[in-house]
Structure 1
Amino acid sequence: MAGQRSSSDEDRKLEAGVSHSQAPDPAPASSSGGGLHPAFYIALWITLSSSIIIFNKWILTTAKFDFPLFLTTWHQVFGTIMTQCMARFTKTLDSRHRVPMTKETYLRAIVPIGLMFSLTLISGNLAYLTLSVSFIQMLKATTAVAVLLATWAFAIAPPNMKVLGNISIIVVGVVIASLGEIKFEIWGFVYQIGGIVTEALRLVMVQRLLSSGDFKMDPLVSLYYYAPACAVINTVFTLFIEGPRITMASVQSLGFGVLLANGLVAFFLNVSSVLLIGQTSAVVLTMSGILKDILLVFASMLIFHDPVTGQQFFGYSIALAGLVYYKLGADKMQSLATDARLHFNDFRQKNPARTKVLGIAGLFLIVLSAFWMWGPLSTDRAAQYVRDVSS
């Protein structure tokens, strides 16, 4: 929801089809980050990225603030104010001076990307009005597929049938998960798919813009340039679509404090992405995004009581496996697996008793999870949900 990354980043998708205030995916940041362990930055990014998605979902559904376009516009306005203040009063955004940005370049390159960015955020927020957080996260697994197809369509990369076969695993997994969705709503599904398509187009435009090598921007500098364009575009959409029915009383009923907190979380997400990129690597960012998606699925079940069936878990697992393989490749996965095995063997030799306890606990959780997903409990929850909807 806030002008966010992605996932995709995460290709960092504005981490939320919702507003996750995430800027386009440029070059690694130069920030040093202060010497803390990289795990801190990973945990911070996952926490903020998940928080903005859950926060937006709560505002739009639980708090009954039925104005997703206004919320998205607010995120962009807040991001514009914050980055303008940082540029004026701090040195954090001094790297913007190295970007050869002219008025002509801004209108030709930034504004179209800003339009796609706005449409991504708007579509994502509209989807959150009707679809569950868990189902939306499952659909987002197809972002990598959409981006790849877009690069082929715009001749940025030549078509590769082997890669197409690899990403088809993701599609199959998402299809299985979609067929198992209890709360399926066609318009929410269309909005989310539309957001994925516009996000793919945005990333392709960014890739073409950065291909010259002169436009290296970290997420905060990107937000500095994109947020004003997005704010203007979103304002136009908001005035025509939500303007006639939104009132000051509607905003006051939600609370200015809630809006301020929401804008801050969205903005801090951009700051955390700068720190994460500076302290880790693209591989770590990819794996962090996938871990975040998994955690969000479970969090939505606990917080919003979203029903998730065993079939969905099965399909989503296939999609995630395909996504990991597509992002990392066989060689990198084998290298990571070898490193993990060496670390595990070292830990087992030094802590045999603790290893046994962890193994028993892990086996217990697997059995319990399998029973919960496939057993009568899952069926009862689904049946109860259907009865609730029917009544």
Structure 2
Amino acid sequence: MSSSNDTTEDKREPLMSDNRDDPILPVSNVPTPTRPTIPSAAYVIVWIALSGSVILFNKKILDKEKGLNFPFPIFLTTWHLVFATIMTQVLARTSSLLDGLKTVKMTGKVYLRAVVPIGFFFSLSLICSNQAYLYLSVSFIQMLKATTPVAVLLAGWALGKDRPTSKTFGNVSIIVLGVVIASYGEIKFVMVGFIFQALGVAFEATRLAMVEKLLNSPEYKMDPLVSLYYFAPVCAAMNFVIFLSLEASTITLDDIFRVGPFVLVINALVAFALNVSVVFLIGKTSSLVLTLCGVLKDILLVIISVAWIHDPVKPLQIFGYSIALGGLVYYKLGADKIKEHYGRLSKEGALRWNEYGTKYPAYRKAAVFGVCAFFVLVIFFSYSNAGTAEISGQVDAVVRAGVNHIHSKRGLETVMSFF
């Protein structure tokens, strides 16, 4: 009996060490939890939200009629660049976001030959673009920005980076045609604002073409945050000189405190966060996604400016802008890629849509109804704003005519009666 028990005990696996002094370690079969990854869609949403917020925020600060009436865009741009200079210096010393500085072989010669002239055009681009917000609506500015690829192409041809071809010229002509139609339908067209925006696009295109030409080698490749590290101090200095010559004599501390230092800090922080989000978006997605996100962002900004800021937009502008966006996507991607991605996305989208309709039929009907109602409201607002602008223009004309008649009749007595 005892021998059988001994045999049984010998076949058992030892549960603990024979040495009583050894520690008994618990064994767990629970797998180590993996760190959750952030989906790419989150980076897209954050970038679109920040990009739109910067534009709307700047418009809110600079606008005289619907904003804070701070007509000093050069000061605002200079402040953004000073803030960016400080933040990039801090991040370079406290984080890994600017580790790309280690791979850039920056010398004094390269800095003077490439960074300074590129920073000069970057500074002019920012100044002119912000000046346009004093005169034009957000929706119209976004429509004019659709010509940026055309301007980049022309600047590349001028710098000898690319050779002009009839096919490329035909593609970009579609974009130009759409923007011309949109400009023709603009209700609040101001020539000064249009010129500022056109100059902003031209300077930005020159900057981008110079970046591709001068900093195209692998040792000078920079992500957007590293570029900001090098360009922000140069642009801040140039903007400050322009500010001293154009705006310093008119701006006062009362103007700054009317807006509020806290608002200015938040505004600069949002603008800097946009540059950080671009780094993550490029790292987690592709250039195709970035292009499509830019188009989507512009469309959403036009819709928001119509529905929220009540910018008047005519159907002719929507038609022209649609042509420009279609030409932009075709120019960026090409026919082959459009067909490829359209076929893949249409199949996957139809499959997901059918699955969603099978599981949640009521929600799918509600979604279709909500999208249709949204576009109906946008069209309604565009028509109503256009009619309001036209009526208000007629009323202003009648009032001005009446005032001129009174002034011509009563002369100095009418003028003195206002006092």
With the shorter chain as reference, the TM-score category is 0.7 to 0.9
Other-structure match for 2:405: none
Other-structure match for 1:16: none
1:304 to 305, 309, 313: 309
What is the letter of the counterpart of residue 231 of structure 1?
Answer: A
Report if aligned partners of 1:118, 1:230 keep a CA contact under 8 Å in 2. yes
* Cα separation, partners in 2 of 1:244 and 1:200, compared to 1, 3 Å: same
CA distance in 1, matches of 2:93, 2:243: 29
Query: Is 1:386 the counterpart of 2:393 in the alignment?
Result: yes
Report if aligned partners of 1:48, 1:268 keep a CA contact under 8 Å in 2. yes
Query: Is 1:195 the counterpart of 2:200 in the alignment?
Result: yes
Question: Alignment partner of 1:65: what SS?
Answer: coil
Other-structure match for 1:20: none
Other-structure match for 1:23: none
Query: Is 1:170 the counterpart of 2:175 in the alignment?
Result: yes
Question: Displacement, 1:332?
Answer: 1.0
Report if aligned partners of 1:309, 1:382 keep a CA contact under 8 Å in 2. no
Other-structure match for 1:116: 121
Please give the TM-score of this superposition, normalised by the length of structure 1.
0.87
CA distance in 2, matches of 1:119, 1:389: 36
Other-structure match for 1:213: 218
Other-structure match for 1:286: 291
CA distance in 1, matches of 2:310, 2:222: 39
1:45 to 47, 51, 63: 47
Report if aligned partners of 2:142, 2:298 keep a CA contact under 8 Å in 1. yes
Identity percentage of aligned residues: 52
Report if aligned partners of 2:306, 2:378 keep a CA contact under 8 Å in 1. no
Report if aligned partners of 1:114, 1:229 keep a CA contact under 8 Å in 2. yes
Q: Which moved more, 1:310-319 or 1:91-100?
A: 91-100
Query: Is 1:58 the counterpart of 2:63 in the alignment?
Result: no
Q: Which moved more, 1:211-220 or 1:135-144?
A: 211-220
Query: Is 1:35 the counterpart of 2:37 in the alignment?
Result: yes
What is the letter of the counterpart of residue 188 of structure 2?
Answer: K
Question: Alignment partner of 1:381: what SS?
Answer: helix
Q: Which runs of 5+ in 1 are unaligned?
A: 1-32
CA distance in 1, matches of 2:272, 2:193: 26
Question: Alignment partner of 1:214: what SS?
Answer: helix
Query: Is 1:93 the counterpart of 2:98 in the alignment?
Result: yes
Q: Which moved more, 1:206-215 or 1:284-293?
A: 206-215
Structure with higher Rg: it is 2
Other-structure match for 1:75: 80
CA distance in 1, matches of 2:317, 2:118: 33
Other-structure match for 2:349: 344
Question: Alignment partner of 2:334: what SS?
Answer: helix
Report if aligned partners of 2:148, 2:201 keep a CA contact under 8 Å in 1. yes
What is the letter of the counterpart of residue 222 of structure 1?
Answer: S
Other-structure match for 2:227: 222
What is the letter of the counterpart of residue 80 of structure 2?
Answer: H
Report if aligned partners of 1:307, 1:385 keep a CA contact under 8 Å in 2. no
CA distance in 2, matches of 1:36, 1:239: 45
Question: Alignment partner of 2:78: what SS?
Answer: helix
Other-structure match for 2:403: none
CA distance in 1, matches of 2:133, 2:299: 17
Query: Is 1:157 the counterpart of 2:181 in the alignment?
Result: no
CA distance in 2, matches of 1:355, 1:71: 45
Please give the TM-score of this superposition, normalised by the length of structure 2.
0.81
CA distance in 2, matches of 1:195, 1:388: 34
Report if aligned partners of 1:310, 1:378 keep a CA contact under 8 Å in 2. no
Question: Displacement, 1:75?
Answer: 0.4
What is the letter of the counterpart of residue 255 of structure 1?
Answer: G
What is the letter of the counterpart of residue 248 of structure 1?
Answer: L
* Cα separation, partners in 2 of 1:348 and 1:265, compared to 1, 3 Å: closer
For residues 347-391 of structure 1, the C-alpha deviation after alignment (integer angstroms, 9 at most, x for no partner) is 244224355554555556556656665x6x465234234246545
Q: Which runs of 5+ in 2 are unaligned?
A: 1-34, 400-419
Question: Displacement, 1:95?
Answer: 1.7
Query: Is 1:147 the counterpart of 2:152 in the alignment?
Result: yes
Q: Which moved more, 1:108-117 or 1:331-340?
A: 331-340
What is the letter of the counterpart of residue 52 of structure 1?
Answer: V
Other-structure match for 1:179: 184
2:236 to 231, 234, 241: 231
For residues 22-48 of structure 1, the C-alpha deviation after alignment (integer angstroms, 9 at most, x for no partner) is xxxxxxxxxxx9821111000000000
For residues 307-349 of structure 1, the C-alpha deviation after alignment (integer angstroms, 9 at most, x for no partner) is 1111101110110110011111111111111112111331244
What is the letter of the counterpart of residue 325 of structure 1?
Answer: Y
Other-structure match for 2:143: 138
Count of residue pairs the alignment pairs up: 357
CA distance in 1, matches of 2:259, 2:376: 43
For residues 279-308 of structure 1, the C-alpha deviation after alignment (integer angstroms, 9 at most, x for no partner) is 111010111111110111111123322111
CA distance in 2, matches of 1:378, 1:69: 31
* Cα separation, partners in 2 of 1:102 and 1:173, compared to 1, 3 Å: same
What is the letter of the counterpart of residue 92 of structure 2?
Answer: A
What is the letter of the counterpart of residue 100 of structure 2?
Answer: S
Other-structure match for 1:30: none
For residues 216-275 of structure 1, the C-alpha deviation after alignment (integer angstroms, 9 at most, x for no partner) is 111111100000000000000000000111122221121110110011000000111111
